[in-house]
Structure 1
């Protein structure tokens, strides 16, 4: 889709401050002979730089410990998909 084709350009154009400087430095240091940076690789680099591993681990634990505990099946399914989406993106 659009994100996979143009996501890196779209997102990096909108970066500001420290994130924009980090991206400029990354591009400057990256060999021009390498293939175009994919959305998946950019996303992994960005998460590694700007999302604390402890937060990612916490969300993983939240997913692993997820229980229905009085929630309706619909609410539980929604929570499951939110947690799963976070893990799949991290």
Structure 2
């Protein structure tokens, strides 16, 4: 199951699904940690690609090594803001 390209936009569910698809593939192919970001970058298009290109330059310029964890955190920060995440958590807790 090939993940779709990610083009950005304000759709937290879409981001979450995209990340889960990519991580599932990483496990299936036993993707080494040092290749995960390269693979994910290949799947970015449009606004998401432009945003990541500039974010990557800023991070690297600041001496930050971009691991999968850094990549993932930056994406959730951008496309799944804390206020939306908190609302989802509250919604989930009310379902219990």
Q: TM-score range by the shorter chain?
A: 0.5 to 0.7
Q: Where does 1:8-87 land on structure 2 (aligned, <5 Å)?
A: 8-31=37-60, 34=63, 36-67=65-96
Aligned residues: CA RMSD: 2.4
Task: Indicate conservation of the 8 Å contact 1:7/1:39, yes or no.
Answer: yes
Q: Deviations over 1:32-61 (max 9, x none)?
A: 573531111111111111123332112211
Query: Structure 2, unaligned stretches of length 5 or more?
Result: 1-29
Aligned residue pairs total 67
TM-score, with structure 1 as normaliser? 0.57
Query: Structure 1, unaligned stretches of length 5 or more?
Result: 68-90
TM-score, with structure 2 as normaliser? 0.54
Secondary structure of 2:60's partner? coil
Name the structure, 1 or 2, with higher relative contact order (CA <8 Å, separation 6+).
Answer: 2
In the alignment, what sits opposite 1:79?
none
Q: Deviations over 1:62-83 (max 9, x none)?
A: 333332xxxxxxxxxxxxxxxx
Of the two, which has the highest radius of gyration? 1
Seen in structure 2, the aligned counterparts of structure 1 residues 56 and 45 have a Cα distance that, compared at 3 Å, is: same
**Shift in Å, 1:29:** 2.3
